[in-house]
Amino acid sequence: MDSQKVGLELGDDSQIDLKIDLFGDYYLTPLSLNDTQDFCNDFNNTEITQYLRSPRTIPYTLDDAREQIEKMITTKDGTFPFCWGIRDVQRPHSLIGNIVIHISSMVGEMKYVPNPELREVFASFGFYLNPKYQSKGIMTACLKAVIQKIGVERYGIKHYYGECFAGNIGSRKTFEKCGFKYIRTIKDGVVKYNPRQVKDSEVFELVLTGENSLLVL
Ligand SMILES: CC(C)(COP(=O)(O)OP(=O)(O)OC[C@H]1O[C@@H](n2cnc3c(N)ncnc32)[C@H](O)[C@@H]1OP(=O)(O)O)[C@@H](O)C(=O)NCCC(=O)NCCS
């Protein structure tokens, strides 16, 4: 899919106004370099990183965080942002978590191809939430909103995949609450960078059809 045709015409400044409301005090705006300190803190928090492949380096420094955010927020001209900061209206300048949508046609090389037979564009995700905010339904709301507002409305995508370390119950429940179905466990399917560990991974799939597309709202 050609991003120039489906994307919005966005300049750097226009991204500042983008906002996706979730529920209550929670909303999404694009991740930015202003999030560097919070992002760095989160990637030094093992309560979060035990479930993530990142960070690549320990210690993970502010420079590492700045460099990672710069890479994450750099998109082709005209594409809708893919990396979103999760926010609480009570602390509007802070990051309480992050959600990223990876669109297969725009990622140079997917680390994992969930369905080699699939010829259509698909999307997959990365996310985490600060432990203080977990188990309130926030990530379920984020994932539904990103699928609907970005996957469906901006890019017309029907196929979605989720992947997590086997045994990550919070992630598994989040995918299932958004309508994803478990499809397989991949033995030694993923490498965690630090400390280096080879782990089994679980894969989930959501296929939106005419009948179920509104269920994600
Ligand atoms: C996984 C994660 C994103 C879930 O976010 P969340 O906002 O807490 O999830 P939600 O509240 O929307 O719902 C998920 C369900 O999982 C449950 N859950 C969340 N964290 C859990 C945990 N650590 N252990 C068991 N269950 C958990 C929630 O209670 C909820 O269940 P319920 O509907 O029966 O109440 C969050 O726990 C997290 O950031 N974990 C650390 C990083 C991580 O695992 N990232 C994902 C990598 S694939």
pLDDT reported for residue 63: 98
The response to whether residue 171 sits with its C-beta less than 6 Å from ligand 1 reads: yes
DSSP label at residue 136: S
The response to whether residue 134 sits with its C-beta less than 6 Å from ligand 1 reads: yes
pLDDT reported for residue 77: 72
The response to whether residue 45 sits with its C-beta less than 6 Å from ligand 1 reads: no
pLDDT reported for residue 156: 93
Q: Return the amino acid letter for 180.
A: F
The response to whether residue 173 sits with its C-beta less than 6 Å from ligand 1 reads: yes
Residue 135 near residue 174, CB atoms below 8 Å: no
Q: Of the candidates 178, 182, 184, which has an alpha carbon nearest to the alpha carbon of residue 200?
A: 184
**Measuring from atom 35 of ligand 1, which residue has the nearest CA?**
135
Whole-angstrom Cα distance, residue 157 to residue 151? Answer: 5
Residue 173 CA, ligand 1 centroid: distance in Å: 7
Pull the structure tokens for residue 159: 């196929």
Q: Of the candidates 43, 13, 52, 44, which has an alpha carbon nearest to the alpha carbon of residue 30?
A: 13
Kindly tell me the burial class for residue 158, based on how many C-beta atoms sit within 10 Å of its own C-beta (0-12, 13-18, 19 or more): middle
pLDDT reported for residue 7: 34
Averaged pLDDT, groups of 10, the chain, 217 residues long = 35 60 97 97 96 93 97 83 96 95 81 81 96 98 96 93 97 97 95 93 93 57
Residue 50 CA, ligand 1 centroid: distance in Å: 13
pLDDT reported for residue 16: 41
- Taken in order of first residue, the domains within the chain and their CATH numbers are 3-157 (3.40.630.30)
Residue 143 near residue 99, CB atoms below 8 Å: yes
